[in-house]
């Protein structure tokens, strides 16, 4: 078995744009290492594809045990200690709650939204076209589309969606004072509880109404549970897609040969989008929520993770693992039968909103190709500014020309 000989401070370098520190290639050859994050206890860092897949999918790794620990993290947050958040649950509680909510995100239900998503995309691209060359893709489309779609699903009034999104950003952003974070949480809770109480009086065809009516063994969800579920779904379904859309367009504009390939061969699009999901590092660092081993378990064949130790699965790096993906650091739209990427995680916590995210991204990119075939960046790639207050990689603005 591999002996631990060092403890590395994490992160190793400041993540910028869509670059990944080349040092990770060496780390993947070594297997898991011990790291110390800015907050919490030391943890293992997994960077290999098979290791990350095991951490996500093996029943011996879970979240619940971590509620009793000083969880490693990039900042101090009560969210990692909240047992009512879906991301902090393990089966069977996690299974029960997902069963009661997953119907709203079933493939059939999401496909039924295709017309609405296309209408939104067309309208937002009309605004982009009206604004003219040099206009910002982020503020005019990628920041609006996911929040409008999720607001429709949850039943948040369209006029309130921007304020709701802003409060969520404040709740999970990096570097915010604890008092400001607590105030954002209180405002979010009051707003959501008001919507929930409205649904108890008057039903509507939205997810909040479904959650209010959901029963398990004759017990309703409490107002607090409904609020936490709605918050979990918003966290997982808005900021991620917003940033991914911007990153995909940036990646295509900085890889013009791939853009031309899609214009000439539209049938490549489904596979190309999966390749973009794989290649683009969606998080600056590891995912926010490590998992704890409930028993001793081996990773990489010879690294012992002892019961009670946390592991951070660095899936953005695992998605480049060249053992799993030939020339994995290369963006290639012609891969033959690639392995499933880990961007939506794997196992019990596989992203519930994956079908929705794929629908939004596919519609936005497909329409962009059709309406703006001469698209390009209006500024040099190095002039693009990236968020410094989010754990997600996201361009603050993306000026485009055509």
- For the segment 153-208, what is each residue's pLDDT rounded down to a tens digit? 888 887 888 887 777 777 766 666 778 878 888 888 888 888 888 888 888 888 88
Residue 1, pLDDT score = 63
CB contact at 8 A, 259 and 118: no
pLDDT in tens, 104-150: 778 888 888 999 999 999 999 999 999 999 999 999 999 999 989 98
The better pLDDT of the pair 107, 273 is held by 273
The better pLDDT of the pair 4, 125 is held by 125
Residue 174, pLDDT score = 61
Residue 215, pLDDT score = 61
Residue 271, pLDDT score = 97
pLDDT in tens, 289-345: 899 999 999 999 999 999 999 999 999 999 999 999 999 999 999 999 999 999 999
Residue 173, pLDDT score = 64
Residue 79, pLDDT score = 65
Residue 80, pLDDT score = 65
Domains contained in the chain, CATH given: 7-401 (1.10.630.10)
pLDDT in tens, 75-117: 776 666 677 777 778 888 888 778 777 777 788 888 889 999 9
pLDDT in tens, 331-363: 999 999 999 999 999 988 888 889 999 999 999
pLDDT in tens, 10-64: 888 878 899 998 888 888 989 999 999 998 999 999 999 999 999 999 999 998 8
pLDDT in tens, 202-233: 888 888 888 787 765 556 677 777 887 787 77
Residue 159, pLDDT score = 82
Residue 125, pLDDT score = 98
Residue 188, pLDDT score = 85
pLDDT in tens, 366-388: 999 999 999 999 999 999 999 88
């Amino acid at each position: 078995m591999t002996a631990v000989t060092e403890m590395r401070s994490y992160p190793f370098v400041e993540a910028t744009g869509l670059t990944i520190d080349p040092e990770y290639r060496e780390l993947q050859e070594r297997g898991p290492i011990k790291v110390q994050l800015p907050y919490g206890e030391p943890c293992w860092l997994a960077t290999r594809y098979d290791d990350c897949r095991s951490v996500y999918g093996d029943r011996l790794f879970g979240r619940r045990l971590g509620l009793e620990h000083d969880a490693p993290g990039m900042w101090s947050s009560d969210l990692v200690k909240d047992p009512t958040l879906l991301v902090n649950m393990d089966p069977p509680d996690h299974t029960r709650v997902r069963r009661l909510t997953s119907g709203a995100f079933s493939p059939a239900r999401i496909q039924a939204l295709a017309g609405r998503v296309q209408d939104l995309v067309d309208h937002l691209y009309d605004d982009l076209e009206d604004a003219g060359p040099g206009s910002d893709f982020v503020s005019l489309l990628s920041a609006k589309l996911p929040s409008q779609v999720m607001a429709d699903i949850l039943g948040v009034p369209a006029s309130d969606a921007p304020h709701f999104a802003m409060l969520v950003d404040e709740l999970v952003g990096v570097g915010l004072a604890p008092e400001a974070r607590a105030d954002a949480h209180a405002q979010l809770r009051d707003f959501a509880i008001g919507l929930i109480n409205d649904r108890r009086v008057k039903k509507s065809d939205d997810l909040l109404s479904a959650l209010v009516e959901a029963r398990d063994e004759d017990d309703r969800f409490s107002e607090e549970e409904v609020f936490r579920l709605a918050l979990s779904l918003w966290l997982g379904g808005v900021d991620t897609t917003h940033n991914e859309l911007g990153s995909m367009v940036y990646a295509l504009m900085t890889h013009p040969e791939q853009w031309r390939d899609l214009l000439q061969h539209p049938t490549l699009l489904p596979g190309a989008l999966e390749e973009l999901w794989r290649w683009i590092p969606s998080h600056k660092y590891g995912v926010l929520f490590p998992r704890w081993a409930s028993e001793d378990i081996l990773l990489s064949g010879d690294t012992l993770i002892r019961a009670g130790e946390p592991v951070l699965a660095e899936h953005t790096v695992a998605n480049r693992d060249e053992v799993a993906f030939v020339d994995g650091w290369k963006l290639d739209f012609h891969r033959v039968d690639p392995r499933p990427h880990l961007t939506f995680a794997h196992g019990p916590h596989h992203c519930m909103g994956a079908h929705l995210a794929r629908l939004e991204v596919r519609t936005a990119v497909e329409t962009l190709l059709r309406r703006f075939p001469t698209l390009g960046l209006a500024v040099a790639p190095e002039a693009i500014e990236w968020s410094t207050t989010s754990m997600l990689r996201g361009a603050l603005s993306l000026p485009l020309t055509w």
